[in-house]
Amino acid sequence: MSTYEEILKKDPKMGELVDILGPLEKPKMTSDLLKDVLETIVSQQLSVKAASTIWSRFEKLVGSVVPGNPILFDAGALRSVGVSLQKSKYIADTCSHFASGEIDQSHLASLSDEEVISKLTKIKGIGRWSSEMILMFSLGREDVFSLGDLGLKTAVSRLYGVERDDLVAIEKISRAWSPFRSYASRYLWKSLDNEPKIKP
């Protein structure tokens, strides 16, 4: 069975990144998907520093991140630590999906990437990009490439000389990295020094 390095190095340009940036750790499954989804929501449209500060305050306020924790449904309390009213609605909706069993971490493990995305995007505030980040950083999926990620499009544009908005060309280039596109994505982010900070 081929390793991700063997597959990626078949592409000379990607191979250069692998050599320069070195090996990557294998993606891991999260131990707490609800917590990861809530962190994704809290961090949306914020700088890394601001997201880290607000998430730290959020964790101290909430304590136990379980779907039935009443503080997660208290918009006023969440506002006090910097969570907007809109995001507090998304957090409540997320908790409802987990509490009802509509989103179940063990069940998601048996689904395809597209089936997981379909499930996750039913949560208010979670779109395709957020779902793809959760697939990569929380569910340990190894073959995810997000055409909606500006950093990835920028990196591919610079490395391969294609237009950043030419999604057809970028998607075609990414196929060469399958079934290890998540690794390729991480190399591309690292080449720009802006790998998403969803997971520590």
pLDDT in tens, 30-62: 999 999 999 999 998 888 899 999 999 999 999
For 136, what's the count of Cα atoms within 13 Å in the CB-facing half-sphere?
A: 26
Q: What is the CATH number of domain 4-26+144-192?
A: 1.10.1670.40
Q: Phi/psi at 65 (nearest 5 deg)?
A: -90, 85
The ranges assigned to domains in the chain are 4-26+144-192, 33-137
- Distances from the Cα of 96 to the Cα of 62, 92, 182, angstroms: 16, 6, 30
Q: How does pLDDT run across 157-170, given as a tens digit for each residue?
A: 999 999 999 999 99
Instruction: Give the global pTM.
Output: 0.89
Q: How does pLDDT run across 183-198, given as a tens digit for each residue?
A: 999 999 999 876 555 4
Query: Any idea which fold 33-137 has?
Result: Endonuclease III; domain 1 (1.10.340)
Task: With residue 51 as reference, give the H or E element that holds it.
Answer: helix 48-62
